[in-house]
Structure 1
Amino acid sequence: MSTHIFHTPEVQDFLRLASGLDQEGGNPRTKAITHRILSDLFKTIEELDITPDEYWAGIAYLNQLGARSEAGLLSPGLGLDRYFDMRMDAEDAALGVAGGTPRTIEGPLYVAGAPVEQGFARLDDGSDANGHTLIMHGTVHGADGKPLPGATVEVWHANTKGFYSHFDPTGEQKPFNMRRTIVTDAQGRYRFQSIVPVGYGCPPDGPTQALLNQLGRHGNRPAHIHFFVSAEGHRKLTTQINIDGDPLVYDDFAYATREGLVPALVERSDEESIQRNGLSGPFAEIAFDMTLSALVNGVDNQIVERARLAA
């Protein structure tokens, strides 16, 4: 279609009307965001000559996305979560905030209310027959480089089928399996026993994978472990580590891999290591220290408030 009407006064006035900019009620921020999104969408329809058929196929897709509760999965898959991290990195650079463990995306599968343990926690309940024992440990440091006693380390990860408790379609996992909050000890140390997770893929019959197929992209993630780390006087760290050796470590559909977040996974089979950890056989070990950044003018300027499951 060669006709272009986006920049006409009629369309621009209509955009203001549809966004409520000419109305006294409502929320000014919502109006401004809606006006920008509608304007960009109108312009996209015109410039790419989007047909009504294509538009209504898009509406049907959004309905499917909501019905399957996959918006939180599509968001990282399209790089939006990573883009927010890039913006926060840029804000840190502008403020002169440097150092600390790299942040990366939270993902959609956190659950608030995990049991709290002091210093050490057993994450898995032993029910995963294919599980390979993992011992992970490290020290949480403050912005001054000193260990942080009493810091909270929230950790969660998938089982060997790639499923998370509370989101497991098989119903096999009990609540809070492979989820704990660990309070660091007097030396700022945390330690946990669990199993080595595996990666997962988007549901193959879901709308997220359907769109990725259209983009010629896969929908798989490498094995990884999520963390929230908090301590008084510091900004909350949202991060995750990828399991070294996973073939998708640097090909994550959610773009969460960052340098410094792929610690070595070391297999231990010697009797001394097995006995020292109170185990009965070989295990994998990951050592990973984390460093928090200080509040900015007394405020956590990058805290993220979002809807999260609580149990």
Structure 2
Amino acid sequence: MTHTEIDALVRQFLVDTATRGTPHPRVQQVVTRLTADLFKAIEDLDLTADEVWRGIEYFAEAGATHELGLLAAGLGLERFLDIRADAADTRAGLTGATPRTIEGPLYVAGAPESIGFARLDEAGADGGAEGEVLFMQGSVRGTDGTPLAGARVEVWHANQLGNYSFFDKTQPAFHLRRTIITDSNGRYQFRSTMPMGYGCPPAGTTQRLLDLLARHGRRPAHIHFFVSAPGHRKLTTQINIDGDAFLWDDFAFASRDGLVPAVRRIDDPARMDRHGVDRPFASIDFDFRLHRDMAGAPAAEVARQRAAA
């Protein structure tokens, strides 16, 4: 069939049959377009019925095993949405803030809150495995440099095995997850353990597809953030740990210039004492800069289902 014939067929299937009331115009528009594009791909690629049903079964399995969010990252869909959001910001004249990057599928709402400082790691939560102690600190500011007191810094990252609490039931629900409210100077700090890079589940649906595409499923070590403040646009971002072998080869395409801060190793006994540790530790300085709210600007938040403990 020609593309014109397919468009007519899809209209017959999905538009002409709308006889039981008024269809939702946006839903009808999107479903009609995506169905037509799918039919055209089947025709152009000469997909067999076996291949089509295998694809349907694949997506059913990916949904049942909760890997659709992982697949969206691995196919570049989540990064593509960020590219479009960056372009929309630029058209609106929004420049100078910390770069956004993907949220990923592993945020959990409701993490404990504290002012100025939080300790993310909980005693014994990783089965006695002692990772490198990490202190990360900085400020939240507007793009004009003004410190933002009372800003919310939501932070979450993986443990030493590359697993996230809540989803990994061997960990307490909020291990390596906290919300820090900046102090009167817009400052935040947290103590944690240095996160590790990790890969897709080796037998999972995402990695099976990546194998067929001759791609790896590895992510560099990273730390996720939501940063928000009254009168400012919410930022979704993450920092990657400098020196990781996959720093610029992230299967999720989330590494960006401006999000790879230096990691300093501190072995000075006086500084170790001031930080309450008995061994050398890693330190990262990073400031977040937020856009002010602006009438008519594109949305800064994404409405999507998220876990809550």
Kept after mapping to 2: 8 A contact 1:166/1:173? yes
Matched-pair contact (CA < 8 Å) for 2:235–2:300: no
Q: CA deviation at 1:142?
A: 1.3
Residue 40 of structure 1: how far off its partner (Å): 0.5
1:217-265 CA distances to partner (integer Å, 9 max, x unpaired)? 0011000000000001110000000011111010000000000100011
State the AA in 2 paired with 1:152.
R
Partner of 2:210: 212
Query: What is the Cα-based RMSD across aligned positions, in Å?
Result: 1.4
SS at match of 2:118: strand
In 1: Cα distance, 2:190 partner to 2:42 partner: 52
Matched, 1:34 2:31: yes
Residue type at the aligned position of 2:64: A
2:256 is aligned with 1:261: no
Superposition deviation, residue 126 in structure 1: 2.9
Q: CA deviation at 1:12?
A: 3.1
Kindly provide the CA deviation profile for residues 177-231 of structure 1, in whole angstroms up to 9, marking residues without a partner as x: 0000000001100000000010111111111001111111001100000000000
Tell me the amino acid that sits aligned with residue 18 of structure 1. F
Matched with 1:281 is: 279
- The residue identity in structure 1 corresponding to 2:69 is G
1:118 equivalent to 2:119? Answer: no
Matched residue, 1:16? 11
CA distance in structure 2 between the aligned counterparts of 1:305 and 1:242, rounded to whole angstroms: 25
Q: Which amino acid aligns with 1:139?
A: S
Shift of residue 13 of structure 1?
A: 3.3
Distance 1:167 1:17 in 2: 44
Corresponding residue to 1:202 among 200, 203, 207: 200
1:148 corresponds to which residue? 148
TM-score between the two structures when normalised by the length of structure 2: 0.95
**Greater shift in the superposed pair: 205-214 or 120-129:** 120-129
Deviation, 1:73, is 0.4
3-state SS in 1 of match to 2:28: helix
Contact 2:131 2:194 in 1 (8 A): yes
Are residues 1:234 and 2:229 paired?
no
For structure 1, the residue ranges without an aligned partner over 5 or more in a row are none
* Residue in 1 that maps onto 2:160: 160
Give the whole-Å Cα distance in 1 for the aligned partners of 2:244 and 2:158.
14
> 1:5 offset after TM fit, Å?
4.0
What 5-or-longer segments of structure 2 have no aligned partner? none
8 Å CA contact 2:92, 2:297 repeated in 1: no
Q: How many residues align?
A: 304
1:72 corresponds to which residue? Answer: 69
